[in-house]
Structure 1
Amino acid sequence: MDAFSHRVESEADPDPAPGCDAATIVVVGLGYVGLPLAVALARRFDCWGVDISAARVAELRAGRDRTGEIDAERLAASSIRLTSDPAECPPADIYIVTVPTPVDEANRPDLSLVVAASRTVGGMLRAGREAIVVYESTVYPGVTEGICAQELERASGLVCGRDFFLGYSPERINPGDREHTVDRIVKVVAGQTPAVTDRIATLYEAVTTGGTFRAASIKAAEAAKVIENAQRDINIAFMNEIARIFGRLDLSIWDVLAAARTKWNFLPFEPGLVGGHCIGVDPYYLAHCAQSVGVAPQVILAGRNANDAAGIRLADSMHTRRGAKAGSALVLGLTFKQDVPDLRNSRVVDVIERLKWLGHDVTVHDPLADAAEAVHEYGIALDGDAFDRRYDLVALTVPHAEYLALGRDAISGLVADGGLLADVKNALGLRADPPAVDYWTL
């Protein structure tokens, strides 16, 4: 018998659930995390996808995913049922919450979306169903069993641990990554009881070839998620700091890394702009948790400070290279990483704002970013005709494949006489054979 039909011994555990393929699943939140998960689950289960944005649901029903994670063919072939009205969903066996957990302007955890989603799910829970509510949203240890459980109880009138049960399985979606997709990665799972953990594991094992890892507790699973991204943040911060040091010594960080990587256990991190929905956010959740238990998080916040300042330092370096002369500037790339349309927490914005502050007339181009979203989120107008003229400074900040396909001559051709081509990530690989224009990288 599989875990979904396993006989539960404890009175606190839920009754046997339907067989694996018979379970009804509701995924709440259909963004970068929720949509790929829901599409994968729909291959095995009766799966509903709920998003509060009617526009998002309409877009998906029309076969378009603006995140680029699910192509039109897969979306059309999926049996997932989409709605913006939770009341349309039938009572489910498993509810999975995949909403964003950002930070506010003071970099404090903003749990408003996960609280709202908990209230939504609470309103969907039914007495006698003994459903499981699994959270994938990134939180600090204790949120699922504390804040979320309280909201679920308040909205449902039911008792957690008796009428419904909790689980946690941290999302590991990497936007634009076609190798480490939700149906291939190891899923960390944890439930309120061992039997609940088994049921959650069976759910994910039905859709991923990577298998599952049963964490010791929900808190352990929550903590694993925040340290995964905090670790990457700290390592990148170190790279950004040594890039500054070596720049003062007239050393290229890329030359130093090429030598250092010959050691078998050297970690292959690189300097750069750290944005997005995870690495630039999750360390603040860990720092908040540390402060709540009386620990001053020195390393975590030092890494964040270094990375948050990277955009300003890049702009200053470009400006200095030009002899501190302001002029026309073209910034190529606005999304938080290459080859994805995701604009969330893009630190390219810091480069743009600093260049403007230094007196440059800045034009921004990005072939993948949504123009309306760029205006809405950052007040930045994308220029689709940016290649029709030349600039005193051309900064390749996000090396989308479309830019690289243009080649060195086309990109350097955008630079006016006496201008500068700044290749932030050394993506053009022109250091050994620089173009005719002034060329700069870290």
Structure 2
Amino acid sequence: MSLDAATKVVVVGLGYVGLPLAVALARHFDTVGVDINAARIAALKQGHDATREIDSETLKASSLKYASDVSSCAEAAFIIVTVPTPVDRANQPDLGPVEGATRALAGAINAASKPVIVYESTVYPGVTEEICGPLIEKVSGLRQGEDFFLGYSPERINPGDREHTVDKIIKVVSGESPEVLEKVAALYSKVTTGGVFRAASIKAAEAAKVIENAQRDINIAFVNEITQIFQKIDLSVYDVLEAAGTKWNFLPFRPGLVGGHCIGVDPYYLAYKAQQLGQLPRVILAGRSINDSMGAYVADRVHDRLRKAGDVLVMGLTFKEDVPDLRNSKVVDVIERLKWLGHNVTVHDPLADAEEAVHEYGLTLDVDALTRQYSAVVLAVPHAQYLAMDPAVIGGLVKDGGLVADIKGALRGKALPAGVDRWQL
């Protein structure tokens, strides 16, 4: 299929996934980015991306246009949906954002444009064709396969990763028919130098995405479990992993808190689908159970080392280092457990948005936290700013006989002041 600069593309949702994709598409097509958050749109127009995925210079130079409603979908040849797919409090899939975006765009499209509607949001197999397609038909009064067409191309954004960006990775693409598949392939082929992989079906593409993260989750769960075993015999899991890693086919996973918008969520989508089909997803749910319990495990070990309640500084709140993303941060589990155990907890993070921390978790970030001393310091998220600190300075945040808990082993091999207790996974 031949596409040119006049081809109109609309990206619905300008978060961690949508914005980098929209900027990449705008290099080749007439692209509009839509987000219902007016403040987000205003900031992007000024060249400021709060997610830090796109730098100011790139944003200002981009031809990407912005809108806070979906009216631009009426003339679009392609509409790409990149809204979040979280889970609810019961860890059940929350398709509310996807269904909301679908209803909105369905009310704007028309038969004359015959748009291809591509979903990038992570879902369980069947959502695109069994939920989104019928919903578009119901709202728009149009016919799938005649007036509009469906495709799916799973997002593979890794927040903070400047190597595996959307314009370099292999993009999995799919369509409801061979003709639609080629249209979707032609679109994404313009965006990435990594090429495209044509999945056998939309369901195959949906399933591929959800197992990518479920596989990582299970592997990390195994390492977290053996970490707990080795802790009981005073054996460092890092020493074990270094030795085991000399074998050519050993997988280099590390222990830690498993949160974020993908690995900590996607396995529940797959588990939900399995249970719908009458299949008990034992391995998937076992992995989730282990990883979901790690926050409490870390807090309990800190409490055991201190032997009594005290003042604890938690350094880092985001779900991973060097990103401002607070979604599904498992550091929160550590904090809540420490508070439950009676500790007075102070939280510091140089990247997290203070208002978002309050809104999402009821936590106040203390910008002056690094000027005081504590019974324990928990280095939860090793941001570059923390690693640039002299280990003696981090140790200096601890009172005599206090503890430095290094969750990810970031200070491994580095000397701390005499008299400071050290603990790591």
Q: Match for residue 146 of structure 1?
A: 130
How many Å separate the matches in 1 of 2:72 and 2:33? 11
2:398 alignment partner, one of 406, 415, 433: 415
CA drift at 1:111:
0.2
Which of 335, 342, 349 is equivalent to 2:318?
A: 335
Shift of 1:23: 1.0
State the one-letter code of the partner of 1:386: A
For residue 61 of structure 1, what is the aligned residue in structure 2? 45
Q: Does 1:381 align with 2:364?
A: yes
8 Å contact from structure 2 (residues 217, 288) kept in 1: yes
Q: Does 1:44 align with 2:28?
A: yes
SS of alignment partner, residue 75 of structure 2: coil
Letter aligned with residue 335 of structure 2: I
2:112, 2:103 → 1: CA distance? 19
1:182 to 151, 166, 175: 166
TM-score between the two structures when normalised by the length of structure 2 = 0.98
Q: Deviations over 1:293-317 (max 9, x none)?
A: 1100100000000000000000101
Which of 341, 350, 373 is the equivalent residue of 2:333? 350
Within a 5 Å distance, the mapping from 1:277-426 to structure 2 comes to 277-322=261-306, 324-426=307-409
Deviations 1:253-283 (A, max 9, x none): 1110010100000000011000000000000
SS at match of 2:345: strand
Deviation at 1:82, TM superposition (A): 0.4
> Take 2:70 and 2:181, find their aligned partners in 1: how far apart are those partners?
26
- TM superposition shift of 1:88: 4.8
Letter in 2 for 1:418: G
Query: Which residue among 126, 129, 134 is the counterpart of 2:110?
Result: 126
Report whether the alignment pairs 1:233 with 2:220.
Answer: no
Structure 1 distance, partners of 2:24, 2:139, is 29
Residue from 407, 412, 421 that aligns with 1:429: 412
- Are the counterparts in 2 of residues 339 and 401 from structure 1 also a CA contact under 8 Å? yes
Partner-residue secondary structure (3-state), 1:206: helix
Contact 2:314–2:380 (CA under 8 A) maintained in structure 1? yes
Specify the SS of the correspondent of 1:22.
coil
Residue number in structure 2 paired with 1:255: 239
**8 A Cα contact 2:73 2:109, kept in partner:** no
Question: For residue 191 of structure 1, what is the aligned residue in structure 2?
Answer: 175
Q: Does structure 1 residue 269 correspond to structure 2 residue 257?
A: no
Contact between 2:80 and 2:120, CA under 8 Å: does it hold in 1?
yes
Structure 1, residues 70-127: CA drift from partner, whole Å, max 9, x if none? 1111110011110102225551000000000000010000001000111111112111
Q: Which residue number corresponds to residue 215 of structure 1?
A: 199
Contact 2:374-2:402 within 8 A present in 1 as well: yes
Report SS of the residue matched to 2:403: strand
Query: Root-mean-square deviation (CA), in Å?
Result: 1.0
Bigger Cα displacement from structure 2, 29-38 vs 90-99: 90-99
Q: Is the 8 A contact 2:395 2:416 kept in 1?
A: no
The equivalent of 2:97 in structure 1 is 113
Q: Distance in 1 between matches of 2:183 and 2:265?
A: 30
| Between 119-128 and 66-75, the greater mean CA deviation after superposition | 119-128
Equivalents in 2 of 1:361, 1:403: separation in Å? Answer: 22
Partners in 1 of 2:106 and 2:164 — Cα distance?
A: 32
**CA–CA distance in structure 2, aligned partners of residues 311 and 255 of structure 1:** 22
Counterparts of 1:380 and 1:115 in 2: how far apart (Å)? Answer: 30
Contact 1:101 1:111 (8 Å CA) reproduced? yes
Task: List per-residue Cα deviations over 1:388-439 (Å, max 9, x = no partner).
Answer: 11000000000000000012011111011110011111101236x4542111
Correspondence 1:28 to 2:46: no
1:226 counterpart letter in structure 2: V
Match of 1:244 in 2: 228
Structure 2 counterpart of 1:8 = none
Cα contact 1:187–1:211 (8 A) shared by 2 = yes
- The yes-or-no answer on 1:155 pairing with 2:139 is yes
Amino acid at match of 2:14: L
CA contact (8 A) 2:7 2:30 kept: yes
Distance of 2:391 and 2:231 partners within structure 1: 24
Q: 1:284 & 1:38 partners in 2: Cα distance?
A: 28
Query: Does the CA contact (< 8 Å) of 1:20 and 1:203 recur in 2?
Result: no
Check whether the contact 1:91–1:124 (CA below 8 A) recurs between aligned residues. no
Q: Deviations over 1:130-181 (max 9, x none)?
A: 1100000000000000100011111211000111100000000000000000
Q: Which amino acid aligns with 1:338?
A: E
Q: Helix, strand or coil: the match of 1:75? A: helix
8 Å Cα contact 2:74-2:110 kept in structure 1: no
Give ranges in structure 2 of 5+ residues lacking alignment: none
| CA–CA separation in structure 2 for the residues paired with 1:435 and 1:421 | 10
Which residue in 2 is equivalent to 1:10? Answer: none
Percent of aligned pairs sharing the same letter: 67
Partner in structure 2 of residue 86 of structure 1: 70
**Aligned-partner SS, 1:25:** strand
**2-structure distance, mates of 1:46, 1:65:** 21
Q: Is the Cα–Cα contact under 8 Å of residues 97 and 117 in structure 1 kept in the other structure? A: yes
